[in-house]
């Protein structure tokens, strides 16, 4: 695979035709490169953060551990913010398991706009870019570090995000080189850390919080996912992954617990069918989360 995703994808698919950007997100005129602002982090590294033209607030969603529902939260948060009236982009940077295309019901390839910038796909009122548009879902990811970093930069700066109030970045699970290289040069305005109440997930969530603190990124709060399961027949609540883990983590790290999301069949089904926020029962938790995020970052 070429390491230039723009040329690779468009040549392969032969879809160079111009397509006008969708009305809800009118594109800003091509902006000159945003100024670099140098700052020395706690790691002693001088970083130059570069804004993404047209994007007001960048929100990183991280989890430390995989499988806790980080992508589910990212996708539903993005759609919930859009339903509240915001212009929203979702950058699915989860190289190891890019699930946004499936969770949003998106298939197929990308197109390039008149200024040679990649046009993100649109679904459920949000603009979407994903590593999943460049990989076969059945094949393991073979991209190496420098390629991932380069492709991620292109996803940020060579994609026509239009005017976005919020760009949500679904980071890969973990707190290693890949995650650091993705966010250290981005002006991330706030991070959301997703965990289950289980100790083994909380350990990794602690690491994710520390990573953001090291990079001087404000953590907006913790999302406790799969907090409990309520039997739809008898109403009994079972703490499948333990109880109170999200609250303990938030207290330990002096953060807010933004929301506790139950285990719900509809949440899983909606993800598989590409129909986020479809069922009323599962909507309220994500709408609450969107409200909490909005109130911490400012309105639109």
In the complex, the residues that contact ligand ADP under the rule CB under 6 A are: 63, 66-72, 97, 99, 173, 225-226, 261, 263-264, 267-268, 271
- Specify the residue, 218 or 265, whose C-beta has the smaller distance to ligand ADP: 265
- Specify the residue, 122 or 264, whose C-beta has the smaller distance to ligand ADP: 264
Closest approach, Cβ 136 to ligand ADP, in A, equals: 18
Residue 232: which residues within 8 A CB-CB, separation 6 or more?
A: none
DSSP-assigned beta bridge partners for residue 221: 192
Rounded CA-CA distance 99/300 in Å is 27
Closest approach, Cβ 75 to ligand ADP, in A, equals: 8
- Specify the residue, 155 or 241, whose C-beta has the smaller distance to ligand ADP: 241
Pairing mode, strands 55-62 and 164-170: parallel
- Specify the residue, 5 or 226, whose C-beta has the smaller distance to ligand ADP: 226
> Residue holding tokens 């850390």?
193
- Specify the residue, 63 or 185, whose C-beta has the smaller distance to ligand ADP: 63
Closest approach, Cβ 269 to ligand ADP, in A, equals: 8
Rounded CA-CA distance 205/222 in Å is 9
Pairing mode, strands 219-230 and 190-195: parallel
Q: Which contacts of 265-271 are long-range, i.e. CB under 8 A and separated by 24 or more positions?
A: 267/72, 267/76, 270/103, 271/72, 271/75, 271/99, 271/102, 271/103
- Specify the residue, 54 or 69, whose C-beta has the smaller distance to ligand ADP: 69
Sign of CA dihedral 238, 81, 278, 126: negative
Helix-helix angle 199-214:245-252, to 10 degrees: 30
Closest approach, Cβ 227 to ligand ADP, in A, equals: 8
Q: What are the angstrom distances between the C-alpha of 38 and each of 41, 45, 46, 53?
A: 10, 10, 6, 18
- Specify the residue, 173 or 221, whose C-beta has the smaller distance to ligand ADP: 173
CA torsion, points 135, 141, 144, 150, in degrees to nearest 10?
Answer: 30
């Amino acid at each position: 695979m070429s390491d230039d995703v723009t040329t690779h994808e468009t040549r392969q698919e032969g879809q160079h035709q111009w397509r006008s950007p969708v009305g809800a997100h009118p594109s800003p005129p091509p902006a000159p490169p945003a100024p670099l602002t140098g700052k020395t982090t706690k790691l002693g590294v001088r970083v130059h953060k570069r804004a993404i033209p047209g994007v007001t607030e960048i929100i990183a969603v991280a989890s430390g551990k995989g499988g806790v529902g980080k992508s589910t939260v990212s996708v539903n948060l993005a759609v919930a913010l859009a339903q509240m009236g915001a212009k929203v982009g979702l950058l699915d940077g989860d190289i190891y398991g890019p699930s946004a295309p499936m969770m949003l019901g998106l298939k197929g390839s990308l197109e390039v706009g008149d200024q040679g910038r990649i046009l993100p796909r649109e679904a459920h009122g949000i603009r979407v870019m994903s590593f999943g548009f460049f990989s076969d879902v059945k094949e393991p990811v073979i991209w190496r570090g420098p390629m991932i970093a380069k492709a991620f930069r292109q996803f940020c700066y060579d994609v026509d995000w239009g005017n976005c109030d919020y760009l949500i970045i679904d980071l890969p699970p973990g707190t290693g080189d890949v995650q650091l290289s993705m966010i250290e040069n981005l002006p991330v305005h706030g991070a959301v850390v997703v965990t289950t109440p289980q100790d083994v997930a909380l350990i990794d969530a602690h690491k994710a919080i520390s990573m953001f603190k090291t990079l001087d990124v404000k953590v907006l709060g913790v999302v406790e996912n799969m907090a409990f399961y309520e039997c739809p027949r008898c109403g009994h609540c079972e703490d499948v992954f333990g109880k109170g883990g999200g609250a303990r983590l938030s207290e330990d790290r002096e953060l807010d617990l933004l929301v506790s999301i139950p285990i719900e069949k509809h949440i899983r089904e909606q993800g598989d069918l590409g129909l986020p926020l479809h069922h009323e029962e599962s909507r309220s938790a994500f709408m609450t989360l969107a409200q909490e995020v909005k109130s911490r970052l400012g309105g639109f």
